[in-house]
Amino acid sequence: MARKEYAFYPGCSSQKGASASNYLVSVESMCKTLDIKMTEIPDWNCCGASISYAESGELPRIAMNARNFALAETNLPGQDIVATCAACWLGSRESKERLEHNSGLMADTQTALKEAGLQIKVIPEVRHMVEVLIEDLGYDELKKPVKKPLDGMKFAGYVGCQTNRPFGIAGESFENPMYLDKLIETVGGEAVKYDQKVTCCGGALAFSEPEKAQGQIKDIIEAAYDGGAEMIVTPCPLCQANVEVYQGQINKRYGTKFDIPVLYYSQLMTLAYGGSAKEAGLKGNVVRARKLEEFAAK
């Protein structure tokens, strides 16, 4: 039996071939080393994400999340739900809170769920992967399997929004959370100081109004460079994608020369645990992390 078991909610972007598929690859490698068993919630569905706000009312959105709760509870009883995506985590946690504090909403949700042949008895805890690492294992445990510390590499820990607000990680401040920096240091890297750690990457605005979002992304990358970072590290798929894939367009628009890799914490951990470039999903980075590729090959 594994040391820890969880009901895994990978979310749409972390599926095979989707925009955060490399996140999934590295999380799987990381969990294997740490002896964490993640069982996918059977037939899970989309959380609705924040951007659904205008089209979807409260109840349909919550029903979607409630369906995942019911599936997890039925198929993986007693296990906490763990999401790797910030939006999935936020959507689920918000739904859980509202359902637990509003009996009318709960009753309506049950009525809707019944149409899909489901029912909620107890809503499982909804956790972020980072919470599992920090709270259930702890930095010391995370350090133990480190075989190849990322000595001398400088990272900007970019926490962004939704892994940080409104819930955040217990004990961390909204304005300057430290856990990502600590994770970087745990695997031997250096976490640089810079002033855009929790700035919004533009979120969904990157799709609907790219010129607005790209201004924000530019500020984030600039600050990371100014802080002396060689790479950016983030816990959120949307942050990762937005900060990484628009660098070319931003260069065109602003005349910058951005070429900074944007990684997931799980990729760093996989590499530090001795994993290969493939296991870390490095191939999935649009801006190639050459330094890490070389490091993995050593």
Partner 1 sequence: MSDMNTQMADRYKNNFLKEIEEQAEMGEWVKMCMQCGLCSGSCPTNFHTGWDHPPQEIFMLIRAGKREEVLNAQGMYMCTSCYNCYVRCPRKVPVTHVMHGIAEYAYRIGRAPKNQPSMHLSKTFWTNATKNGRVNEVQLTQSLYFKDGIGAGIKKAMEMQSVALGLVKAGRLNLLEAVGIAHKCKDVKGIHAMLAKAEELEAKNKAAKAGTTGKE
Interaction between residue 203 and partner 1 (CB under 8 A): yes
Of 8-16, 124-132, 178-186, 221-229, the segment contacting partner 1 by CB under 8 A is 8-16
Residue 56: Cβ-neighbour burial (10 angstroms; 0-12, 13-18, 19+): middle
Q: Are 51 and 204 in contact (CB under 8 A)?
A: yes
Q: Are 268 and 281 in contact (CB under 8 A)?
A: no
Of 28-36, 145-153, 160-168, 271-279, the segment contacting partner 1 by CB under 8 A is 160-168
Interaction between residue 236 and partner 1 (CB under 8 A): no
116 Cβ neighbours under 8 A, 6+ residues apart: 67
Residues 52-81 that bind partner 1 (CB under 8 A): 52-60, 62-64, 67
Interaction between residue 46 and partner 1 (CB under 8 A): yes
Of 26-34, 50-58, 144-152, 178-186, the segment contacting partner 1 by CB under 8 A is 50-58
Q: Are 4 and 136 in contact (CB under 8 A)?
A: yes
Question: And the tokens for 46?
Answer: 């989309």
Quick one: which of 4, 18, 74, 182 contacts partner 1 (CB under 8 A)?
18
Interaction between residue 205 and partner 1 (CB under 8 A): yes
Interaction between residue 146 and partner 1 (CB under 8 A): no
Interaction between residue 163 and partner 1 (CB under 8 A): no
Decide: helix, strand or coil at residue 245. helix
- Other CB atoms within a 10 A radius of the CB of residue 17 amount to 5
Interaction between residue 228 and partner 1 (CB under 8 A): no
Quick one: which of 77, 152, 248, 274 contacts partner 1 (CB under 8 A)?
248
Q: Which is nearer to partner 1, 44 or 258 (CB)?
A: 44
Nearest distance from C-beta of residue 56 to partner 1, angstroms: 5
Quick one: which of 156, 159, 161, 223 contacts partner 1 (CB under 8 A)?
161
Dist. CA 182–CA 139, nearest whole Å: 8
Q: Are 85 and 125 in contact (CB under 8 A)?
A: no
Residues 107-126 that bind partner 1 (CB under 8 A): 108-109, 111-118
Interaction between residue 102 and partner 1 (CB under 8 A): no
Dist. CA 276–CA 296, nearest whole Å: 6
Dist. CA 73–CA 227, nearest whole Å: 45
Q: Are 45 and 12 in contact (CB under 8 A)?
A: no
Nearest distance from C-beta of residue 101 to partner 1, angstroms: 13
Dist. CA 175–CA 150, nearest whole Å: 27
Question: And the tokens for 196?
Answer: 């855009």
Question: And the tokens for 82?
Answer: 């763990």
Q: Are 275 and 249 in contact (CB under 8 A)?
A: no
Interaction between residue 194 and partner 1 (CB under 8 A): no
**Which residues are near partner 1 by CB under 8 A?**
12-13, 15-22, 43-46, 48-60, 62-64, 67, 108-109, 111-118, 161-162, 165-166, 168, 174, 199-200, 202-205, 207-209, 212-213, 215-216, 245-246, 248-249, 283-286
